[in-house]
Amino acid sequence: MSTERSSPRYSSIDAWHAEDIAESIVEGQFAAVAAVMAARKEVAAAVVAMHARLQRHGRLIYVGAGTSGRLAEQDGAELAPTFGWPEERLVVILAGGEKARVRSVEGAEDDAEEGVSLISQHEVDAHDVLIAIAASGTTRFTMACLREAKRRGALTLGIANNRPSPILEEADYPIFLDTGAEPVAGSTRMKAGTAQKVALNTLSTSLMILLGKVYRGLMVDVRAANAKLVKR
């Protein structure tokens, strides 16, 4: 699994000067963005499919565990205030629930039964679009959600940083973000997380543009909930 391996590039990072450490980490962030650029055709194809499914009905559903889940929640949270996306058409399913927003919930990402149960509770169906995110591409909770949603007829997108992986093999629209080894081996909140956030930004913003939420580069359904937005 490429995101878990230790890279010779960073084998002595603990002995480097602070400036060299910072430079290498920022360098990795540029590589993360490049990984999304390499997947731009897959991202665009997914956006077209999402647009077709969500023009009139259906919900946008995000699923993830740990860093991937928190990034998904962050992306989803911005859609209502920025684009006027109806809150009843947004679902974020995070392994471990509310507690997992700020701390690790041990074992939550391995609970496949809970994933199936939550998809059932939300009554996911063929009108919906589900985006499943996992750096490994193997997270049991996330995979269970994707499989159950697909069984119910939902359109499924899978975002992962390792290939081959079940998420990429089973999603209707797989998006592989090839970020490779992390500066700190296995710390996928770094390069993998950045690539996931850029991919989510691109997916959701492109979708909202196609849905008519932007005109001449301006947000036309923004929710003016504070002084800055009223002025905007």
Could you tell me what percent of the chain has a pLDDT over 70? Answer: 97
Each domain of the chain, given as residue ranges in start order, spans 8-231
Higher-pLDDT residue of 1, 225: 1
Residue range 194-215: mean pLDDT, rounded: 97
Separation of first and last alpha carbons in the chain: 46
pLDDT tens string 150-165: 999 999 999 999 999 9
Q: Is the model's pLDDT at 166 over the cut of 60?
A: yes
Q: Are 199 and 23 in contact (CB under 8 A)?
A: no
- pLDDT (0 to 100) of residue 232: 57
CB 143 within 8 A of CB 166: yes
- DSSP assignment letter at 124: -
Catalytic site positions: 78, 109
Q: What is the pLDDT of residues 4-55, one digit of tens each?
A: 888 888 899 999 999 999 999 999 999 999 999 999 999 999 999 999 999 9
pLDDT in tens, 82-118: 999 999 999 999 998 877 777 777 788 899 999 999 9
CATH number at 8-231: 3.40.50.10490
Q: Which residues, in sequence order, are CB contacts of 113 under 8 Å at separation 6+?
A: 144
Question: Apex CA 214: angle with CA 210 and CA 215, to 5°?
Answer: 115
Output DSSP code: residue 217. Answer: T
In the predicted model, what is the mean pLDDT of residues 114-124?
A: 97
Dist. CA 207–CA 202, nearest whole Å? 8
Whether this prediction's pTM lies above 0.85 is answered by yes
pLDDT at 229 over 80: no
pLDDT of amino acid 83: 95
In the predicted structure, residue 122 carries a pLDDT above the cut 60: yes
Q: How confident is the model at residue 168, as a pLDDT?
A: 98
